[in-house]
Amino acid sequence: MGVYLALLLIFPFISIVSGSFYDITLQGESALRTVCESWRLNAEMGNVIGWVVIPSGCEEYVSNYMLGGQYSLDVDLMVREAMSYASKLQIEGDGKDAWVFDIDDTLLSHISYYSENRFGATPFNKSSWVQWENLAAAPAIESVALFYRQLVSGDWSVFFLTGRSEKRREVTEENLRRSGFTKWTGLILRQEDEEGLPAKVYKSARRQELEKAGYRIWGNMGDQWSDLTGYSTGERVFKVANPMYYIP
Ligand SMILES: [Mg+2]
């Protein structure tokens, strides 16, 4: 029993060394779930980075996580924490208290797109993504939308900072409005000279511009660590769960 337990515990780590960490289908369903859970947690924490697809064998796990209720619970709790934090701040009310939101999988949900694309088990496909984006049909993530409505009905300046190109402004605004995001102080998209920049570099520079314009960024919410790290990150950051893809 002791030997079995020890093997069970060290097997994934042996596999990391041998490069087959994600070839875990032989371990049975419960062990697979445990290893996929461990991967998801470490990806959320920013320990596992640079991945192009989710681990082999974890598609069903990610599907269950996204659709089975846990994802919604995790996002709801994050939103409650953000609401609690925002409600306790003594903001000046001079129009310079700012909250920054990412758009994709922060305000707008792309679960339906990813459910048709194996929950990130296949590499990002730009042409199918653009087709989806052109529909401007991504629904709001409801709990985040609720928080957004609280902010815009108060004294907050709300900025949307997205990795989407300026060329996509029209379809982006259409989707935002259709999903209930009708008011913002700024919608910031990538300009031509920013197209090649990593999200973290581009977004940091744009947040710094807001600060230079006198805005106090109290909160910053995004589904990627590249939304939330770098500089001028904001007083607090809130990470929306997303185990489906990684953006540097
Ligand atoms: Mg995003």
Mean pLDDT of the chain: 91
Q: How far is the CA of 104 from the centre of ligand 1 (A)?
A: 4
Query: Which token pair is 124?
Result: 């990002």
Integer CA distances (angstroms), 160 to 19, 41, 67, 94, 129, in order: 40, 27, 26, 19, 20
Q: How far is the CA of 101 from the centre of ligand 1 (A)?
A: 9
- Domain-embedded: residue 77: yes
Q: How far is the CA of 13 from the centre of ligand 1 (A)?
A: 31
Coil, helix or strand at residue 127: helix
Q: How far is the CA of 102 from the centre of ligand 1 (A)?
A: 5
The verdict on 118 and 193 lying in the same domain is yes
**pLDDT band, residue 172 (cuts 50/70/90):** very high
Q: How far is the CA of 225 from the centre of ligand 1 (A)?
A: 9
The verdict on 34 and 84 lying in the same domain is no
Q: How far is the CA of 247 from the centre of ligand 1 (A)?
A: 8
Summarize pLDDT for 146-169 with one digit per residue, the tens. Answer: 999 999 999 999 999 999 999 999
User: Whole-angstrom Cα distance, residue 242 to residue 70?
Assistant: 12
User: Whole-angstrom Cα distance, residue 240 to residue 207?
Assistant: 19
How large is the average pLDDT for residues 63-89?
98
- Residue 28, pLDDT score: 62
Q: How far is the CA of 5 from the centre of ligand 1 (A)?
A: 39
Helix (H) or strand (E) segment spanning residue 65: helix 59-67
The verdict on 91 and 29 lying in the same domain is no
- Burial bucket for residue 114 (CB in 10 Å: 0-12, 13-18, 19+): buried
Q: What pTM value is reported for the model?
A: 0.88
Are residues 218 and 237 in contact, defined by beta-carbon separation less than 8 angstroms? no
Gyration radius of the chain over CA positions: 20
- Domain-embedded: residue 168: yes
Q: How far is the CA of 25 from the centre of ligand 1 (A)?
A: 30
Summarize pLDDT for 206-248 with one digit per residue, the tens. Answer: 999 999 999 999 999 999 999 999 999 999 999 999 999 999 9
DSSP state of 230: S
**What is the percentage of the chain residues whose pLDDT exceeds 70?**
87
- Domain-embedded: residue 67: no
CATH code of the domain covering residue 121: 3.40.50.1000
Question: The tokens 């909160």 sit on which residue?
Answer: 219
**What is the percentage of the chain residues whose pLDDT exceeds 90?**
86
User: Whole-angstrom Cα distance, residue 237 to residue 52?
Assistant: 24
User: Whole-angstrom Cα distance, residue 86 to residue 219?
Assistant: 8
**pLDDT band, residue 76 (cuts 50/70/90):** very high
- Domain-embedded: residue 246: no
Q: How far is the CA of 120 from the centre of ligand 1 (A)?
A: 14
**pLDDT band, residue 33 (cuts 50/70/90):** confident
Q: How far is the CA of 161 from the centre of ligand 1 (A)?
A: 9
- Domain-embedded: residue 66: no
Summarize pLDDT for 42-56 with one digit per residue, the tens. Answer: 999 999 999 999 999
The verdict on 119 and 11 lying in the same domain is no
**pLDDT band, residue 8 (cuts 50/70/90):** very low
The verdict on 40 and 80 lying in the same domain is no
Domain hosting residue 183, numbered range: 72-239
- Residue 41, pLDDT score: 97
DSSP state of 192: G
Q: Which of 28, 46, 64 is the last residue of a domain?
A: 46
Residue 44's identity, in one-letter code, is E
- Domain-embedded: residue 247: no
Please tell me the total count of domains within the chain. 2
The verdict on 198 and 93 lying in the same domain is yes
Q: How far is the CA of 246 from the centre of ligand 1 (A)?
A: 9
